[in-house]
């Protein structure tokens, strides 16, 4: 047994796909000390810098003092705490939905929701580039999977015609794709969902807090808040906290409470996390939130402009997720290693996270990066890119 595990690890190494965690000291700030060296952090999803916002810290401390450190059990076992209900009311107002349900993470939300609302005899239409947690939810559900080419609503329309007359139908997509930073064609998907009586579920993990005038996400940006049956969003990225929500109708919420196994069989989020998430939603919808978003958009535009001038390709994205296309896995990992030596912390992304041959450096901009940080980063990336022959 030990030998087979050793062999498997060796195989992962031989294929250039070995992964390991790295220790950083201190907080998730624009600059972090990584394994003893100061680096510019260009791979965090803490897009607005809220993970170190004093209002979130204060809310978490107060909630802990008042309500303790744990929720004690699943909400169906030892009871829902006031803070769960307060946060759900905050989310429903934020997403302008009838109601909301909190999940322990985005991963738990997607696996729990999809397997609760569809099953054998039903069909799921899923974008080819959807997040791994959606794919796992699809597998757990036992429903028939129909994958459509990335963002291709015309092909989806054709395959939906063919699937007529089966059980329940679900269209599921990322709102902002996590490895490309591009937006789903939500308007076209909403039209198809309505034409075929399908449910539309949008996972806006990277849009929530960042897109739209009030930060309500990709659906707000596209004027479609009311056209989506299930909005999923996470508190662990732009919102600087932890956990996830589904914003949906009261009946869908009831169904999830009765059927979503990740909700039923897992201890619910603790008071500190719930209170920090509520505080984050207040900031996102305030003037301060708008200023942070403007700063994020301006920094992203500057960074991309410099990368393009240097000759890099960064895909079709329009958001703070900036992929730099690098090709094969070895070059990509070498690229990220050389950048680290220059003081820049960026992750190389390889299969199975992205298709073979589509390796990239996934850079993410934060509102807490200064123009000087981003100009410096783009220069370092161009230097290393030239030395490796990527540009
Ligand atoms: C990060 C992410 C998730 C998972 O959310 P967690 O709260 O980190 O578990 C789900 N979907 C997408 C698109 C993500 O990027």
pLDDT in tens, 34-44: 988 999 999 99
User: For this structure, is 196 an active site residue?
Assistant: no
pLDDT for 16: 78
- Ligand 1 contact, 362 CB (< 6 A): no
- Ligand 1 contact, 205 CB (< 6 A): yes
Task: Look over the chain and give the mean of its residue pLDDT values, rounded to a whole number.
Answer: 96
- Ligand 1 contact, 273 CB (< 6 A): no
DSSP string, 310-368: HT---TT--SSEEEEEEESHHHHHHHHHHHHHTTEE-EEE-TTTS-TT-EEEEEE--TT
Q: How far is the CA of 173 from the centre of ligand 1 (A)?
A: 12
Q: How far is the CA of 243 from the centre of ligand 1 (A)?
A: 9
User: For this structure, is 237 an active site residue?
Assistant: yes
- Ligand 1 contact, 104 CB (< 6 A): no
pLDDT single digits (tens) 344-359: 999 999 888 888 889 9
Q: Are 68 and 317 in contact (CB under 8 A)?
A: no
Q: Give Cβ neighbours of residue 349 (< 8 Å, ≥ 6 apart).
A: 179, 323, 332, 359, 360, 361, 362
pLDDT single digits (tens) 129-165: 999 999 999 999 999 999 999 999 999 999 999 987 6
How far apart are alpha carbons 101 and 115 in whole angstroms? 16
Q: What is the mean pLDDT of residues 55-65?
A: 98
Phi, psi of 34 (to 5 degrees): -110, 120
| Domains defined for the chain, CATH in brackets | 18-47+287-388 (3.90.1150.10), 54-284 (3.40.640.10)
Q: Are 173 and 202 in contact (CB under 8 A)?
A: yes
pLDDT single digits (tens) 1-17: 778 999 999 999 998 78
User: For this structure, is 99 an active site residue?
Assistant: no
For the whole model, what pTM was predicted? 0.97
Q: How much of the chain is helix, strand and coil, in % rounded to 5?
A: 45, 15, 35
Q: Could you give the strand order of the β-sheet that contains 359-364, starting from the edge strand earlier in sequence?
A: 321-327, 359-364, 347-349
Phi, psi of 323 (to 5 degrees): -80, 135
CA 83 to chain centre: 24
Is the C-alpha dihedral spanning 127, 129, 134, 137 positive or negative? Answer: positive
- Ligand 1 contact, 207 CB (< 6 A): no
Q: How far is the CA of 7 from the centre of ligand 1 (A)?
A: 31
Q: Could you give the strand order of the β-sheet that contains 123-127, starting from the edge strand earlier in sequence?
A: 99-103, 244-248, 230-234, 199-203, 169-174, 123-127, 144-148
């Amino acid at each position: 047994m030990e030998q087979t595990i050793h062999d498997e690890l060796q195989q992962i190494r031989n294929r250039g796909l070995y992964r390991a965690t790295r220790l950083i000291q201190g907080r998730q700030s624009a600059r972090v000390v990584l394994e003893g060296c100061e680096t510019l952090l260009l791979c965090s999803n803490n897009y607005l810098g809220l993970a170190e916002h004093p209002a979130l810290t204060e809310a978490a401390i107060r909630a802990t003092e008042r309500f303790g450190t744990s929720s004690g059990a699943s909400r169906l076992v030892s009871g829902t705490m006031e803070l769960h209900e307060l946060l759900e009311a905050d989310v429903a107002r934020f997403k302008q939905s009838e109601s909301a349900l909190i999940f322990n993470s985005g991963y738990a939300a997607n696996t729990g929701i999809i397997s609760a609302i569809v099953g054998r005899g039903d069909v799921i239409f899923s974008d080819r580039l959807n997040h791994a947690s959606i794919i796992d939810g699809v597998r757990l559900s036992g429903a028939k999977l129909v994958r459509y080419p990335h963002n291709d609503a015309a092909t989806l329309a054709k395959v939906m015609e063919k699937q007529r007359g089966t059980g329940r139908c679900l269209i599921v997509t990322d709102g902002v794709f996590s490895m490309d930073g591009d937006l789903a064609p939500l308007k076209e998907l909403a039209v198809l969902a309505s034409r075929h009586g399908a449910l539309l579920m949008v996972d806006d993990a990277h849009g929530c807090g960042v897109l739209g005038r009030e930060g309500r996400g990709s659906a707000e940006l596209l004027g479609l808040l009311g056209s989506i049956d299930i909005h999923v969003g996470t508190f662990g990225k732009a919102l600087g906290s932890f956990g996830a929500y589904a914003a949906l109708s009261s009946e869908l919420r009831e169904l999830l409470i009765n059927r979503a196994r990740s909700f039923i069989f897992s201890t619910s989020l603790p008071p500190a996390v719930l209170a920090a998430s509520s505080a984050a939603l207040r900031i996102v919808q305030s003037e301060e939130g708008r200023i942070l978003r403007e700063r994020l958009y301006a920094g992203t535009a500057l960074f991309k402009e410099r990368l393009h001038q240097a000759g890099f390709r960064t895909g079709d994205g329009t958001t703070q997720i900036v992929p730099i296309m690098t090709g094969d896995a070895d070059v990509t990992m070498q690229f990220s290693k050389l950048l680290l030596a220059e003081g820049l912390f960026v992750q190389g992304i390889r299969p199975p996270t992205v298709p073979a041959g589509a390796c990239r450096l996934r850079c993410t901009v934060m509102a807490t990066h200064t123009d000087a940080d981003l100009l410096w980063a783009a220069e370092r990336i161009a230097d290393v890119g030239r030395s490796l022959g990527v540009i």
